[in-house]
Structure 1
Amino acid sequence: MILPPPPSVADGAEQQDVVSWVAEHLGDLALEGPGGIAAGGISGGQSAADTALATLDVTGYASRRSTVLPESRRGASRMSPYIRHGLLRLREVWDAAGAAPARDRRKYRDELLWQEYARHLYARVGTDLGTSLRHDQPRPAPGAVAAGPVSVADPWPAQMRCMEVVVGELHDDGWLVNQTRMWLASQWTVRAGADWRDGEQEMFVHLLDGSRAANRLGWQWTTGTGSGKPYGFSRWQVEKRAPALCGSCALSHACPVQSWPDADRGPAVDGPDLSRGEIPAGPATIEGDGGEVVWLTAESLGEGDPALAADPARPAVFVFDEPLLRRLTLSGKRLVFLAETLGELAAGRDLEVRRGVVPEELGRRPVAATWAPVPGWARHAARVDVVETHPWPWLARPRPTAVQSFSAWRKGIGAPAP
């Protein structure tokens, strides 16, 4: 099904026009339904990404990256939605941080390397990243979950001010600093004993930067299923990173996370092989030619997408994957971000926007595409006439290495020095 292109702010449209477009054409696939669609806290589109990159200043990042409140003191850059959808490449952001003070530059580039590690790991293990990699998650001691004044039915109890505010920000803005992502993951699993996969999905549907690679890795690291060392969320972190929250909490004098949790590692599991081995990387140079149209995916929607940039006059097509979106039931704010991006692209070049089953919507047209390190790309590409494949813009191109930890991967991959 072909859709009209989304409205573009480049042509004078307002964000509400894009929200209305999503409600009309994709609202039945969204978590909130057509009547509940709203934009998140970060605008989509190449111009917004370019502005964010041009104004990037990570001075003070090392000391403020974990600050939660007040927001004016946060050091996080909010670049992740643009990186996740290929509006900005990791190398561009890496280079943009080059003028920062040495300590801040190293810390910030470490975070970019973590994003690259997530992609390498996902390319290696694929859907197995949705299973515990090295250990089962820790389970609270019998009776521990039921103790205290919070609801045992809610892994993120609204009675806790820290949970209420952070979950509210997730639902409203679709973006969180890394510190509060860790709070939510630890509270869900280590404290409440709920399954980490369910929590990962609950966060994933709202995050504008939601990727299975980064989100699942973050949850596995925090809960200890990937690292063997669970992160112990407690009142200490809240008072250090967002002191105002405890002062306004009704449970301030009966805090259910007052002390450190009993967070011993869970039992070892027989997970995927993480030892030294090949990491699928896609082609190193362009393979084939003759693509009549560029097939764009949600992994690479920027004007710098290699297949798109190779021929500015070549038309492009993006398909909203209806079966996938119906299964994921993403928040409408994620769809608004994508629509803003596609609308701006369509204002500057020939772009066809469709909804349906990807191979069926692309038909028998010979396409050019940029390889992507996600299982869905290979699954669809096997049923599409991809005659021209462009390399993925890695920050550090994969080579055989172990992926059981960030440090092991970084040593083996020969990653660039921060």
Structure 2
Amino acid sequence: MKTRVIVAGLIVSLFLISMISASCYITPRANCIGNGNIIFGLSNSTDAHGELASQGDYNYVFCCNEGSSTSCDGSNKIIGLELATNSHAEIPSLSAYTNNICFEDFSCTSRNTSCNSGEVGIISLSANTDAHIGSFNDYETKICCTSNFLDADGDGILNINDPDYNGDGIMDYPYDLIDPNGDIDGDGILNINDEDMDGEGILNGHDPDFDGDNTMDQFTIVTPNGDIDGDGLLNINDGDIDGDGILNGYDSDVDGDGNVEAVCGNDIKEVGEECDDGNNRNDDGCSRVCVDEGNDDDDTRRSSGSGSNRCNPNWDCDSWSICDGGFKTRTCVDLKHCGTNSNKPDEASSCKTTILSSIGNSIISLSGNSENSKVWGISSTLFWILLIAVVLVLILIGMLLLR
């Protein structure tokens, strides 16, 4: 009996930890209250059908503790539903179903068995399409996401407010100029673990001056000593600079001038961004705030919002093709989508055709230039190998008979 209690306690603890670390989770509808936002409904906690949040027929929901927008922008799809309710689901990369489940700045993909570093696993599906829905550990097809509204390292601090969002023990940009082992606000929490480093009540991701040194660390397009919304708070001390009810870190128009500021992570390099690789991760060449990670100039990095428009491509090339007519080719793509051919590697090169490769190419050509072509029910390549072997055996027999 005691063992059962301990096991049950561990299961409950793990469930609660997963809820806290992910900030989004499957739960009974009655528990998604307060700051909770219903993203979609489920017929059960596992092996479930899904429904749109607007339906309200099911007793279980997928609930997120932060954010509110379920509008789809073409890049924030979590899953697709075949029907508005009582529906099977598909992975985010498919488009057969028309009822898309979307949320805030989520960028989701499907993976087998586990998520990559920096991603958060939120749910799982029984298949790629025509699937039932379950919690992350229920099925092998995992839905893995990145978002400011998630907690990638499971420390209880959302990515947007976390000075070390990937949990590697190193301060991430834009907090990387701050002493990780210091304690700016004297609250006993090291800066690297503090979601409000200066202790003024504005979480780091929304705070224009998160280190409390009276200089704008973020949202540098705004005059620090102005008061855009007239609430008596200087912009530098205001978590909602334009007073529209959307915290700065989530506001696409921070200064309320009607012009949408650059959105980092939408795979489009906009004014004020050094790069944009379509995600909100660091350590991949382009940081989660769209600053080129290859730039070591700290002053330039700190003032990245001032209009710098530099982007250093990160080229990724596939393997060279076989030598054909004295040339070989490959394809190279810029993982950071800078829109320039600067420093692009060669995609064509001269080469020498050896006798063996010529014979091999000739065999491929004779067999229809297709690795899937067949002769008499066997692969063409195997056919030619067998044919050559037979010829060699016949020649050897002939030579023996002539002796």
TM-score, L = length of structure 1: 0.24
Of Structure 1 and Structure 2, the greater strand share is in 2
Of Structure 1 and Structure 2, the greater helix share is in 1
TM-score, L = length of structure 2: 0.24
